[in-house]
Structure 1
Amino acid sequence: MNYRIVHTSDIHVWDFPVNPVLWVGKRTLGLGNLILRRARKFRKEQLLNLAATIEEDQPDHLVLSGDVSTTSLSSEFEKIHLAFQEWLGDPRSATVVPGNHDRYTQWAQRRRLFDRYFGNTTHNEPYPMIKNLTRGLDLIGFDPCRPQPISARGLAKLSHIKSLRRIVSQIHPDETKCVIFACHYPGEVPREFLRFEKGHEMVNARLVVKSLAALHCPVYWLHGHIHYPWRYPSPTASNVVYLNPGAPLLKRKTGISFGRWILDWDGVDVTAEWKSAPNSARELVDFG
């Protein structure tokens, strides 16, 4: 058998709200940053080309690990939903977990805007949630994202960690041979990138890592948040590997990467390969 997962993250589609009410509060800061920096760097006009590239990868399952939007506007979520509608209609075909930009404001959080568009991909279950993808392969979705006044920190609530431990304890080694863990934040960051984590880390991350370390099988932690692609084996949990695709629409000197991880499951092992536009291949930092 062969089952293919394509994972990308941090697409950061952006838009300017027409309604002036939506410019107040934290979004004012976000839109100011957008005007000065992000609008030039994140090439939203390439969104449909990214979707077409992923379609050529022929995934059985698409994972978007957060920050599909920039300031959690409905118009931003709509663009993502339209671009990936081929997969988003069926939870067997896609999993979308939120990033901090998708829980950007209290206003968006109260209205559960992200969940309206993508909640069906996690069966509208509370996080953490688990679903079986195919024989021997399970996926756990985790959401530590909360609207914050200034910082981009996430918080793994102790109640969520307790729920995660319960899920882990119920995974049977005879049935599950590998686990995909979809969470916007990494639990650990390579030393070379620690400078990007200050004010951006997930609080209680070590407890999440410790929970996953109790599993009998390999865990592939699919995340984003820091806009550089890497493969990073956990230094504290021997069964955990972090896969960060980078930001696929972020324009760098090498161009736009369309970066994504291709994970092929053969019923026994996962083979993971980072794919990108040819001129961006050197971006990947492989610690594995």
Structure 2
Amino acid sequence: MRFLHCSDVHITADYFSLPLRKLGWRRWLALAELSVGGRSKAYARAPQTLATIARDADALGADHFILSGDITAYALEPEFQVVRESLGTLAEDPRRCTIIPGNHDVFTPGSHRVGRFARHFGHLLESDLPEHRREGPFPFVRLVGEEAAVVGLLSARVPFVPGLAHGFIGPAQLDGLAALVKDPRLAGRALLVVVHHAPLTHQGRADRYFHGLRDAQALFQLLPGPRYAVLHGHIHQRYHHPATAERPHVFGAGSSTQAGREGYWLIEVKDGQVVGGQKHVPGGALH
């Protein structure tokens, strides 16, 4: 089986054409990152790149498409709309597609309060085993074929102030995940657990305190060995840490639409185990 994993596509609206009063103070601070920091230019072609990646899912025979958060720049309604348009029919079917929110998708209290992510992608948070939900729809489970399942977790929280970009899963979701792992209906299946924040950096270390996944070790304790993989984004680097006896595979998808760094993972599952992955660039070519 094949799973296409991408992340941090950051579809970006034209912020400089919008009235400042509609943006709010949090996005005012982000204007420096968009302009001086070059983020607006880096993601100018993100919609086209994301559409290409979605087509690759069919062309490469992927059984399931996974996007591990930060689908928008700063959680504006038009950004969510463009993500949905770029993915086309792929985003209509939970059997084919899993998307979770990242911290940029809950960037303001208002975007979180009105459920902007759920308005466009809430149907993808449905669960085949809903009794294991503990925090809203999380964790949710998607059974894929006969030998795999995708599990979605929420780590993205509304930041107290911009710049605090850490995440946590929390004891409730971890309790649901623990029950899920023991569920006999998942016996013999590989589990691909999707979370936005990185449990490990590309160097194999914990991320910075105000940027990383606070309860990464608690997550790893529930998922030892090659039956499991944690798929994440947040860090704009693409890497794979193979599983050990104590922890799962870790796949960081990087920023899949960033100019000059475009790409994604094609992850292979065989006989109920995660056996590895290949890096691809949009258009289906190998790195």
TM range (shorter): 0.7 to 0.9
How much does 1:95 deviate?
0.3
Partner residue, 2:130: none
Secondary structure (helix, strand or coil) at the match of 2:222 reads helix
2:48–2:86 contact (8 Å) kept in structure 1: no
Normalising to structure 1: TM-score of the pair? 0.84
Q: Which residue of 1 aligns with 2:269?
A: 265
Q: Name the structure 2 match of 1:189.
A: 201
For structure 1, the residue ranges without an aligned partner over 5 or more in a row are 283-288
Percent identity between matched residues is 23
Given that 2:9 and 2:70 are in contact with CA atoms closer than 8 Å, whether structure 1 keeps it comes out as: yes
Counterparts of 2:245 and 2:271 in 1: how far apart (Å)?
A: 26
Distance 1:264 1:103 in 2: 31
Q: 1:266 to 1:90 in 2, by over 3 A?
A: same
Question: TM-score, normalised on structure 2?
Answer: 0.84
Residue 74 of structure 1 and its aligned partner are, at CA, apart by 1.1
4+ residue segments displaced more than 6 Å: none
Instruction: Give yes or no for contact 2:11–2:47 (8 Å, CA) kept in 1.
Output: no
Match of 1:231 among 236, 240, 253: 240
Alignment match, 2:5: 7
Does structure 2 conserve the Cα–Cα contact (< 8 Å) formed by 1:154 and 1:200? yes
Change in Cα spacing, 1:162 to 1:266, as seen in structure 2 (3 Å) is closer
- Asked whether the 8 Å contact 1:10–1:227 carries over to 2, the reply is yes
| SS of corresponding position for 1:202 | coil
Rounded Cα–Cα distance in structure 2 between residues aligned with 1:223 and 1:162:
20
**Shift in CA distance, 12/169, structure 1 to aligned 2, threshold 3 Å:** same
Report the Cα offset of residue 86 of structure 1. Answer: 2.0
Flag the 1:56–1:19 CA change in 2: closer, same or farther, 3 A.
Answer: farther
Q: 1:133 to 1:46 in 2, by over 3 A?
A: same
Aligned counterpart for 1:100 among listed residues 80, 99, 103? 103
Alpha-carbon deviation of 1:156?
1.8
Q: C-alpha offsets along residues 68-111 of structure 1, whole Å, 9 cap, x if unaligned?
A: 11101111111111111221111001000111111111100001
Shift of 1:6: 0.8
- Secondary structure (helix, strand or coil) at the match of 1:10 reads coil
AA matched with 2:66: V
Aligned equivalents of 1:41, 1:217: Cα separation in 2: 35
Instruction: Name the amino acid aligned to 1:158.
Output: P
Provide the residue aligned with 2:41 in structure 1: 40
SS at match of 1:139: strand
- Contact preservation (8 Å) 2:237, 2:252: yes
Match of 2:166 among 153, 173, 176: 153
Question: What is the root-mean-square deviation in Å for CA atoms of aligned residues?
Answer: 2.6
Q: Distance in 2 between matches of 1:35 and 1:236?
A: 45
Aligned residues: 270
Gaps of 5+ in 2: 128-135
Task: Name the structure 2 match of 1:286.
Answer: none
Q: Is the 8 A contact 2:228 2:273 kept in 1?
A: no
